[in-house]
Amino acid sequence: MKIRSAGATHVGKVRSTNEDYLGVFDDLALYVVADGMGGHAAGEIASQMAVEIVCHTFETALADRTDPSGDAPDPGHRLVRAIELANERIFSAGRDDPALSGMGTTVAALWIDGSTGYVGHVGDSRIYRVRRGVLEQLTSDHSLVNDYILRGIMTPEEAGSHPMKHVLIRALGTGPSVTVDLRALELEPGDLFLLCSDGLSNLVPPAEILSTLEAPGVDVSLRGQGLIEAANRHGGVDNITAVLVEIGAPR
């Protein structure tokens, strides 16, 4: 598949530091967004570790044509295992260094293998797909309020203003192991994927995300910048990160 991609991040209008981190690895057809959390600079460290470890694991696995575990190659497991390894190392770093204690991060990753896209995530960073004019959220937030919504305890409207809307029930680095959600999707020419941190998805309404992504004749990098500008127009209360991946016709 022919791929056009771009990534951008911004500190926003309120925060003094940017704890988001992104990876656009066209040579691996791998795209990652991470949103760190933790005191001092720990969130920045956790998100950077997540992206770099996932990338390095893929480089190693693809070089020797095996799964990171040493088993026969399994595309879906390869992405899951890379995220699991990132969790293990972030957790160990936080356990061994008091300055990093309590750090963690979300992760949202897209890997394209032939005509299949693999979506893996932990936390509330999201992956969307635009196909034939429809915006679809491919991930489900691992947050307290989303869990309440799924259990029928709370409505989406109530969740939007809930004081604990940013509380995660699953993240990298908060425990020795983690469950990674994985989806495999058949790709179509024209598919457009957006990976983003909640500094974008919490502020920009879905209709505005879609209209920005579908701007005619606009390069993917400019559409990504347009999303960041939209989040800042809506207050920019958090760090903002967007990675766009557009699928073209087969090579």
Give the CATH number of the domain where residue 218 resides.
3.60.40.10
> How do 126-131 and 134-137 pair as beta strands?
antiparallel
Mean pLDDT for 155-183 is: 82
> What's the domain range around 70?
3-247
pLDDT digits (tens, 9 = 90+) for 80-139: 999 999 999 999 999 999 999 999 999 999 999 999 999 999 999 999 999 999 999 999
Contact 6, 25 (CB under 8 A): no
Q: How many Å apart are CA 214 and CA 223, to the nearest integer?
A: 8
Q: Mean pLDDT over residues 181-190, rounded? A: 97
Cα separation, 18 vs 21, whole angstroms: 8
Least confident of 63-67, 117-121, 242-246: 63-67
- Residue 212, pLDDT above cutoff 60: yes
Residue 66 banded pLDDT, cuts 50, 70, 90: low
pTM here?
Answer: 0.92
**pLDDT (0 to 100) of residue 46:** 97
pLDDT at 81: 94
Residue identified by tokens 């309440």 is 148
Instruction: Tell me how many domains the chain contains.
Output: 1
pLDDT at 160: 62
Q: How confident is the model at residue 41 (pLDDT cuts 50, 70, 90)?
A: confident
CB 108 within 8 A of CB 33: yes
What the block records as the tokens of 201 is 């998805």
Q: Quick one: which H or E segment has residue 151?
A: none
Band of pLDDT at residue 79, cut at 50, 70 and 90: very high
Within 10 A of 134 (CB to CB), how many other CB atoms are there?
A: 8
Q: What would the two tokens of residue 7 be?
A: 């990534």
DSSP lists the bridge partners of residue 169 as: none
The residue-averaged pLDDT of 135-162 equals: 77
pLDDT, residue 198, reads: 95
Mean pLDDT in residue range 42-46: 95
* Per-residue model confidence (pLDDT) at position 242: 98
Give dist(CA 30, CA 113) in Å, integer: 9
SS3 65: coil
CA–CA distance, 35 with 240 (Å, rounded to integer): 9
| pLDDT in the model for residue 162 | 62
| C-beta separation of 175 from 103 below 8 A | no
Q: Return d(Cα 144, Cα 166) in angstroms, integer.
A: 8
